[in-house]
């Protein structure tokens, strides 16, 4: 049994992946406690929120979790997994009015990296019209190291958010689209800097294409907002505007009190 599996076995009771049938309007008290304990333990972002924001965060996580079908592929079902994956989505969309990623009904969880096709190296996550796919081992690793700018859940949720607003046009957020339009203007200049300087604050994968530039930038934004703002202030400002969150300011407040 891997260390990750041991952590999972220890912390999560085995359970079904079926959707809960409780009222969607409010979070039942037992779920509120369970969600709060889990999220406080695994998602550092939660500790940056005020008490009323924490209430909203838990409520959104409850609604998100109960509006998606979670599928466990080649692994046992654990109740905590859908809660934490939902919390990652809510973290990324917390500044937005529409946090539902409504186009996506299905989320698939694999125990580890998986083969998508024979030509590609193993994936740790991807988004397709069929759903959002995440390796649970890499989900945990993403949150265990909160300073390496790598977080697969945030990365895939960023893809899902742009897909939701541009390709699927399920519940288009026009303000999001207007703000997002500023991002391509940064991609070319940052690519040029990478060519000239042979390095970038973002990892090289960001420069695969504009969609990866977006997803990797959002990872860096949540993992180390101070680092992103110091190193790429223009990019930080655009991501903060798109997501309607000034995370660097929250970190500063929390580290000075």
- Distance of alpha carbon 117 from alpha carbon 221, whole angstroms: 30
- Candidates 90, 215, 238, 242; binder of Zn ion (CB under 5 A) is 215
Least distance in angstroms from the C-beta of 156 to Zn ion: 7
Specify the residue, 137 or 159, whose C-beta has the smaller distance to Zn ion.
159
Among the candidate windows 109-117, 207-215, 219-227, 236-244, which touches Zn ion by CB under 5 A?
A: 207-215
Residue placing its CB nearer to Zn ion in the complex, 151 or 245? 151
Q: Residue 240, interface with Zn ion (CB under 5 A)?
A: no
**222-249: buried (b, 16+ CB within 10 Å) or exposed (e) per residue?**
bbbbebbbeebeebbbbbbbbbebbbbe
Please state the closest distance from residue 130 (CB atom) to Zn ion, in A. 16
With 0-12 CB in 10 A as exposed, 13-18 as middle and 19+ as buried, what is 54? middle
Whichever of 38 and 132 has its CB closer to Zn ion, that residue is 132
Residues 78 and 36: beta-carbon distance below 8 Å: no
Supply φ then ψ for residue 72, to 5 degrees.
-95, 120
Q: Draw the binding track, 10-49, toward Zn ion (x: CB under 5 A; -: no contact).
A: ----------------------------------------
- Which positions from 133 to 172 touch Zn ion by CB under 5 A, shown as an x/- string? ----------------------------------------
How many residues does the structure list for the chain?
257
# residues contacting Zn ion (CB under 5 A): 2
Q: What is the DSSP string of 88-157?
A: HHHHHTTTSS--S-TT--EEEEESS-B-SSSSSPPBSEEEETTEEEEEHHHHHHHHHSTTSS--HHHHHH
Tell me how far CA of residue 17 lies from CA of 32, 72, 106, 108, 138, in angstroms: 18, 8, 12, 11, 20
Region binding Zn ion by CB under 5 A among candidate stretches 65-73, 136-144, 205-213, 219-227: 205-213
The residue number whose beta carbon is nearest to Zn ion equals: 215
Q: How far is the CB of 158 from Zn ion (least distance, A)?
A: 8
Report d(CA 42, CA 37) in Å as an integer: 9
Comparing CB distances to Zn ion, the nearer of 80 and 125 is: 125
Measured from the CB atom, the residue of 38 and 127 that comes closer to Zn ion is 127
Q: Which stretch binds Zn ion (CB under 5 A): 30-38, 58-66, 213-221, 239-247?
A: 213-221
Radius of gyration (C-alpha) of the chain in whole angstroms: 18
The footprint of Zn ion (CB under 5 A) covers 212, 215
């Amino acid at each position: 049994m891997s260390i990750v599996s041991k952590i999972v076995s220890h912390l999560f009771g085995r359970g079904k992946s079926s959707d809960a049938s409780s009222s969607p309007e409010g979070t039942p008290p037992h779920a509120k406690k369970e969600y709060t304990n889990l999220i406080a333990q695994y998602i550092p972002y939660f500790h940056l929120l005020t008490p009323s924001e924490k209430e909203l965060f838990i409520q959104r996580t409850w609604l998100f979790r109960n509006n998606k079908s979670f599928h466990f592929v080649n692994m046992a079902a654990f109740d905590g997994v859908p809660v934490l994956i939902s919390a990652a989505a809510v973290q990324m969309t917390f500044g937005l009015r529409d946090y539902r990623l409504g186009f996506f009904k299905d989320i698939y969880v694999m125990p580890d990296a998986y083969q998508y096709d024979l030509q590609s190296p193993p994936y740790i996550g991807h988004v397709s019209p069929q759903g959002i796919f995440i390796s649970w081992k890499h989900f945990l690793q993403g949150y265990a190291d909160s300073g390496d700018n790598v977080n697969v859940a945030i990365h895939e949720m960023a893809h899902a958010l742009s897909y939701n607003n541009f390709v699927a046009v399920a519940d288009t957020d026009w303000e999001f689209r207007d703000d997002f339009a500023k991002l391509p203007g940064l991609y070319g200049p940052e690519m040029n800097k990478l060519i000239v300087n042979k390095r970038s604050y973002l990892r090289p994968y960001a420069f695969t294409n504009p969609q990866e530039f977006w997803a990797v930038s959002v990872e860096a934004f949540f993992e180390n907002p101070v680092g992103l703002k110091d190193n790429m202030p223009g990019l930080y400002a655009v991501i903060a505007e798109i997501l309607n969150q000034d995370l660097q300011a929250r970190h500063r407040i929390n580290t000075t009190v």
